[in-house]
Amino acid sequence: MRKGITFLMIILILGFATIAMAQSVVNPNTFVYEEPGPFVSLDPAWDYDTVSDEINMQVYENLIQYDGTSTVNFLPMLATNVPSVSDGTILDNGTTYVFHIRQGVYFHNGDLLTPQDVVYSLERTVIFDRAGGPSWMLAGPLLPMVDGQYVSTIVQVVANELGLSNPLNYTSLSSLGIFATGTKNPLSDKYKQALVDAFNLLAKDFEIKGNDVIIHLPQPYAPFLYILSGPVSNWSSILDQKWCADNNAWDGSANDWWYYHNPEQSNDPLENIENGTGPYMVQYITPGREVALQRFDEYWQGPAKIKYAVVKYINEFTTSLLDLEAGQADAISVPLQNLSEVQGVKGVNVVTDLPTLGVYGIAFQWNIAAQGNSYIGSGKLDGNGIPSDFFSNLDVRKAFEYLFPYKQFIQQALNNMALQPNSAIIKGLLGYDPNLPTYEQNLAKAEEYFKEAYNGELWQKGFKFTALYDTGDTTHQLALQALSDAARRLNPKFQINVVGELWSNYLADEISQKLPMFIAIWFADYPDPYDFADAFYASTGAYSGNFGQNYTDFAQKNIDPLISSLINTAQTSKRAEISQQLTQLDYNNALYIWTDQPEGFWVARSWVKGWYYNAEIAEMGPYFYVLSK
């Protein structure tokens, strides 16, 4: 899941040529986009935030790309084909992919693209593996499974090569104890060989035949093509191997890759430079303020219609609004609470009701860390707190499901610009079924389940705990407050204290399992149900993997087999059935309070032409190549 602003600026479907003709276009050869910022890194292997994506998708490219507005179909990009079973370029039960690499493609420095650049780029993302970064998406399909599970980092493969017990518990090379203190120098030849062997397992996936790159996956991975698709999957962007090595990045060698693994950002030589094959190249960077791009005239699809593009980082909405009104900005990002201020502005088009691939929910902590945790009060079912396993109780979770005012929240807090999800498998993903059940506010039902919980003791004694939100996020505050208000109306002994906390402290409390409940957010890394199901449901998921032992036991028995089938199964209809089983299982077990799937909007001057909407690309911002004024 990429980190970014929680409101979404979505891509306009078509230009508005008729209106534009009546306007005097400002700076016709430059497109200016204003958003909060700044960007984090220009290195595709580091980039995992939407602001950095905004730049990188203009300058780097992938093997394949989404077909216009579709999030299902693909077109060639740096490959001249989209692999398929029908043409013999997907083989061996979905484990072999053949890509015909496009010839005559130039990098911005004049180097020609080669098949080896493709192999190098995908390998580099896996070995780069910076903490909290996107490398896990390629590590899963490209590295062999360990203990019957897909890995998330090459570290786990090294641990397995060393014969360590529970190799999946390791996520950093330093934790393996194989380096001299304070260095990345292996302590022995045995340790160095394990590092080399782990890399060789990755390298054996790749074969070059003439101008083809053939990828042999060690096991099936149904969403593999999504992970390789552009223009937004920066982790699969293709770099120039020679240029990277010349700029002190990894040179492709198996014998020292660990020195380039999980670097400090300040030690990443590609942090503020680029050399892609995309339609624009970086002209200059004004740190913290703007990035200017210039058209790449040797671009293989032909030069962009507009010569210059500038991304300005404006963190005050009023400034961006004034620039938009004056025509000094062609498009801006707008917080939802300010949307009404741009609607009706002369010469500005606002497009709404655009579905996104994101979901919000309230997560239950099945095992709450009790030691020194004031958020659970007394830690007992005595009216002054809750026990640490409070939300392991199904009756409790179902009661809370019936407390939340879903329709009212969407109407009042989100201006009706959202859908109510029925699970993590949201609209736009394979297997989404609007006919599967959702919860609604029903206080009589809530009372019924509260009275069932703890043999009626909970209803008689009540409960008290603290629910926290990230300070400044008023939408999340409103969601938790709505739950608190409903609980108190139902029974005055039910007390939920809603408190704001600084993001860094909030995140630390979430990770340490201190929060009884918290807001869970996911926006698609790629538009496949596995990306969401794994994060929200798996025993090792980004959210669910931290719910505690009670949930882990439940998931390993009931959910993990379904998620494994979801990724191992190639047949689309079967995968859709599995997604629907997960949705029903979610509902039956009241796993989350699903509050909303937000709708997006786009705000731009009416002279902007050529935009189209793609729910996956839209999260990252505008793709400048299709633009004209």
DSSP letter string, 517-541? EEEEEEE-SSSSHHHHHHHHHSTT-
- How many angstroms separate the CA atoms of 225 and 616, rounded? 14
- Cα distances from 570 to residues 83, 85, 92, 225, 575, in angstroms, run 14, 11, 12, 12, 7
What's residue 355's pLDDT? Answer: 85
Q: What's the pLDDT band for 336 if we cut at 50, 70, 90?
A: confident
Q: What's the pLDDT band for 17 if we cut at 50, 70, 90?
A: very low
Sign of the dihedral through C-alpha 314, 317, 318, 321: positive
Residue labelled with tokens 């910022």? 37
- Find the distance separating the first CA and the last CA of the chain, reported in whole Å: 33
249 Cβ neighbours under 8 A, 6+ residues apart:
124, 260, 269, 270
Is residue 201 classed exposed, middle or buried when 0-12, 13-18 and 19+ CB atoms within 10 A define those classes? Answer: middle
Predicted confidence (pLDDT) at residue 260 exceeds the cutoff of 50: yes
User: Are residues 310 and 31 in contact, defined by beta-carbon separation less than 8 angstroms?
Assistant: yes
What's residue 491's pLDDT? Answer: 98
What's residue 257's pLDDT? Answer: 98
Find the mean pLDDT for residues 404-424.
96
Write out the H or E segment, with its range, that includes residue 355. strand 348-355
Predicted confidence (pLDDT) at residue 84 exceeds the cutoff of 70: yes
Alpha-carbon 419 to chain mean position: 19
What's residue 507's pLDDT? Answer: 86
Closest CA to 45 of 223, 248, 237: 237
What's residue 70's pLDDT? Answer: 92
Predicted confidence (pLDDT) at residue 135 exceeds the cutoff of 60: yes
Task: Give per-residue pLDDT as tens, 33-43.
Answer: 999 999 999 99
557: region left, alpha or beta (phi > 0 left; psi from -120 to 50 alpha):
alpha
Go through the domains of the chain in sequence order and give each one's CATH number: 17-36+279-347+606-626 (3.40.190.10), 50-267 (3.90.76.10), 358-598 (3.10.105.10)
237 Cβ neighbours under 8 A, 6+ residues apart:
44, 56, 60, 61, 62, 121, 230, 276
Please tell me the least confidently modeled range out of 19-28, 32-41, 199-208: 19-28
What's residue 89's pLDDT? Answer: 98
What's residue 392's pLDDT? Answer: 98
Residue 301 burial (CB count, 10 A):
12
Predicted confidence (pLDDT) at residue 13 exceeds the cutoff of 50: no
What's residue 18's pLDDT? Answer: 39
What's residue 23's pLDDT? Answer: 57
What's residue 443's pLDDT? Answer: 98
Predicted confidence (pLDDT) at residue 15 exceeds the cutoff of 70: no
Pairing relationship of beta strands 90-91 and 96-100 according to DSSP bridges: antiparallel
Q: Where are the alpha helices (DSSP H) in 47-171?
A: 50-59, 115-128, 136-142, 154-161
User: Are residues 103 and 115 in contact, defined by beta-carbon separation less than 8 angstroms?
Assistant: no
What's residue 472's pLDDT? Answer: 74
DSSP letter at 373 equals: -
What's residue 21's pLDDT? Answer: 42
User: Are residues 522 and 359 in contact, defined by beta-carbon separation less than 8 angstroms?
Assistant: yes
Find the mean pLDDT for residues 517-545.
94
What's residue 620's pLDDT? Answer: 83
User: Are residues 321 and 487 in contact, defined by beta-carbon separation less than 8 angstroms?
Assistant: no
List of E strands, 137-205: none
Residue labelled with tokens 């210039």? 294
Closest CA to 275 of 436, 98, 111, 72: 111
Q: For the stretch 323-349, what's the b/e string if a residue is b when 16 or more beta carbons lie within 10 angstroms of its beta carbon?
A: bbeebebbbbbbebebbeebeeeeebb
Find the mean pLDDT for residues 598-627.
93
Residue labelled with tokens 């790309």? 65
- Cα distances from 107 to residues 246, 265, 277, 284, 431, in angstroms, run 14, 24, 4, 18, 39
105 Cβ neighbours under 8 A, 6+ residues apart:
78, 112, 113, 277, 300
Predicted confidence (pLDDT) at residue 8 exceeds the cutoff of 60: no
Find the mean pLDDT for residues 369-375.
96
Residue labelled with tokens 């010839």? 103
- How many angstroms separate the CA atoms of 541 and 543, rounded? 5
The three-state DSSP-derived secondary structure of 381-397 is CCCCECCCCHHHCHHHH
What's residue 19's pLDDT? Answer: 41
Task: Give per-residue pLDDT as tens, 44-68.
Answer: 999 999 899 999 999 999 999 999 9
What's residue 1's pLDDT? Answer: 64
DSSP calls for 421-470: -SSSS-TTSTT--TTS------HHHHHHHHHHGGGGHHHHH-EEEEEEEE
- How many angstroms separate the CA atoms of 585 and 537, rounded? 10
